[in-house]
Chains A and B, each alone.
Chain A
Amino acid sequence: MTLKQVVNNVAEMPASKDAVVDIKNLSLTFQTADGPVYALSDVDLTINEGDFVSFIGPSGCGKTTLLRVIADLEKPTGGDISINGVSPEQARENRAYGYVFQAPALLPWRSIERNVTLPLEIMEISKEERIKRAHDALKLVELNGFEKKFPWQLSGGMQQRASIARALSFDADLLLMDEPFGALDEIVRDHLNEQLLKLWARTNKTVAFVTHSIPEAVYLSTKIVVMSPRPGRIIDVIETDFPRDRSLDIRETPEFLEIAHRVREGLRAGHSNDE
């Protein structure tokens, strides 16, 4: 790999750099009535602990599929994948995943608090502990005070924050986010991106984040994975060296623009390949 390896803030980097996700030669082919669809082909990727990895690419490039394979929601048809050294299925059984979907997917019959405690309930954690953790998680996403509200009483951005709180509540090793802010307007999105970064800096979680916004990907990530469609594959992996507690202002710096340019170039190359 030809990666730009610049480590500025060594002190802020996690001490250990163990691979949380290790993918080798992974491929996934869907058999459909119109013939096979090559959703993923020859994917190699390592996600280290504490990484914030963004997957970017045009629709149909397999970025969501890759996330779903990591979460054991799809089975690969070839190659190897290990999460924390075990299979995705085993990792799922170990409750390693906090998944945030494109839509909030809150259960309408449960209050915000009880939505956040849902995974804890399934994991059979005691009631006092559940309520305490829900309270903490809601505080992280600045939703304290909304515990007793129902999802439909909250705005779209607040609902998505509640779903992030739900993913955080059980302290999963890996936070998987599939275009979580895709349906929100730019201002709310900026705000949530900022909050997400703070959260990531504070909790030191490993995050895999799917997006199709270049500024979002560059702003949030330590590692940007550029993907291209038909067949879905990785065409570039870019590591960034912004400090963990970066602000929105970095979007005006030359480094930011340079990385954004490289991402765009990668996306363009993937596209021309397609024609």
Chain B
Amino acid sequence: MTPMKLDKFCLVGAIAALLALIFPLAGIDPDTGKQVAFVGDIPGLAIAMALCVIAGAAFTWLGVRTVISGAVILAVAVFGCSQAIATLYDYGVAGYAGTGFWLFIISLWAFVWRGIDVIANYRSLEMAKQQAANVIVPVAFGVWLLFVWEVVVSGFGVPQVLLPPPSMIGVRFVTSTDIMAADFYQTFVKAVLSGYVLGCGSAFVMAIAVDRVPFLKRGLLPLGNMVSALPIIGVAPIMVMWFGFDWQSKAAVIVIMTFFPMLVNTVTGLNAAGKLERDLMATYASGYWSTLFRLRLPAAMPFVFNALKINSTLALIGAIVAEFFGTPIVGMGFRISTEVGRMNIDMVWAEIALAALAGTVFYGAVAYIERKATSWHPSFRVRRH
């Protein structure tokens, strides 16, 4: 065995938790002139800090090697996080967090880091276990970031107009589902999906035409390049004038945004089939359409899906920005622009969260279809014998 090596993260965690017990937990309330809260008054927090000291010290010596020890560390950290949140809101420390509190957060950070690290390095031949580990790592990391956001904003008492804590956004999200659903329907289902299908579909058909007709390739591609360089901020109000306030104008903006990436990628993809394969089709006296469907389009699929993925995020951005320039009184972009004016920043953030969620799911769905449709491509191959 190699000589005993101290686990640095656990050491930092233990020392920070120990110092957290000594340093003042909270600042002084200017009205009463007294410290807002003491560790001694909050049994849960005291237990959590003590646990951190004990677990930290133990694992500093033992080392964190197995998944179980990683899980124990994470469990201690999760308990600590819940107590930190309770301290902020139930004991009035929000806005008055002191050195002790932040030392405790540093201690938690060390444990979470070490715990996630262990799970991230977990390798198992069993698919289910490996997949579970693969899911836990990003989820745990995301939850930790939300926790830090919450604690920093509450602990320092950051004004809500600047940045509301995620809990407040979450509450707003859950309590205004009817508005959010209407906005989602207006912006995503009506504008984004129709614009996306129209833009990508027409560009795909155009790409085949461009590929077939040489003068289009020379004439239309540079023109398309120019169209793609148009600023959507400039185009959006014009589209609103042309197509009205409702979703049609947003769909038009999306068509302009998504058209060119799809066109260029498909044209490139149509030339992706190798010379050998084309010669092969020629020896079979395969016609233009036969070669197109049997060779060139399948070979172009990785490129087409690339464009579909790029466009899935572009489309949502286009719709939201376009709604800033006139819309019926519903829609995600409309909500963001009006609620900012009314200082309802939590609602703005809730809409941003909705947009992020919708965008991620949309992208994920396209990526999933890509995986299924181009499973033959080297980047997705799974050896099955």
Contacts and interface: CB of A to CB of B under 8 A. Distances in A.
A101 B284 contact: no
Interface stretch (A103-111, A184-192, A225-233): A103-111
Which range holds the interface residue count of chain B?
20 to 34
B383 A153 contact: yes
A92 to B, nearest CB: 5
B298 A99 contact: no
A137 B26 CA distance: 82
Nearest to A102: B276
A73 to B, nearest CB: 5
B274 A105 contact: yes
Contacts of B367: none
A99 B377 contact: no
Contacts, number: 57
Nearest to B375: A109
A116 to B, nearest CB: 12
B42 interface: no
A97 B283 contact: yes
A95 interface: yes
Interface in B281-326: 281-286, 290, 294-295, 298, 301
Interface string B371-385: 000101110010111
Contacts of B295: 107
A105 B276 contact: yes
A92 B285 contact: yes
Contacts of B376: 108-109, 150, 152
Contacts of B385: 153
Given A107-B298, A109-B298, A121-B294, A95 B280 contact: no
Interface in A71-118: 71-73, 92-95, 97-99, 101-103, 105, 107-109, 118
Interface string A28-68: 00000000000000000000000000000000000000001
Contact of A95 (B274, B284, B381, B384): B284
A71 B298 contact: no
Contacts of B381: 152
Interface string A207-231: 0000000000000000000000000
Contacts of B285: 92-95, 122
Contacts of B29: none
Interface string B340-381: 000000000000000000000000000000000010111001
**Most central of B277, B283, B286, B377 by chain A CB within 10 Å:** B283
Nearest to B291: A122
Contacts of B284: 95, 118-119, 122-123
A108 B279 contact: no
A102 to B, nearest CB: 8
A92 B280 contact: no
Contact of A99 (B279, B290, B301): B279
A105 B281 CA distance: 11
A61 B106 CA distance: 75
B276 A103 contact: yes
A71 B283 contact: yes
A105 B294 contact: no
A107 B376 CA distance: 9
A176 B284 CA distance: 13
Nearest to A152: B381
Interface string A167-188: 0000000001000000000000
Contacts of B384: 153
B298 A73 contact: no
Given A95-B284, A118-B294, A105 B277 contact: yes
A79 B150 CA distance: 84
A101 B276 contact: yes
A122 B294 contact: yes
A103 B279 CA distance: 12
A101 B279 contact: yes
A95 B283 CA distance: 7
Contacts of A119: 284
Interface of A: 68, 71-73, 92-95, 97-99, 101-103, 105, 107-109, 118-119, 121-123, 150, 152-153, 176
Give 6 closest A-B pairs by Cβ, nearest first. Answer: A109-B376, A99-B283, A105-B276, A108-B376, A122-B286, A119-B284
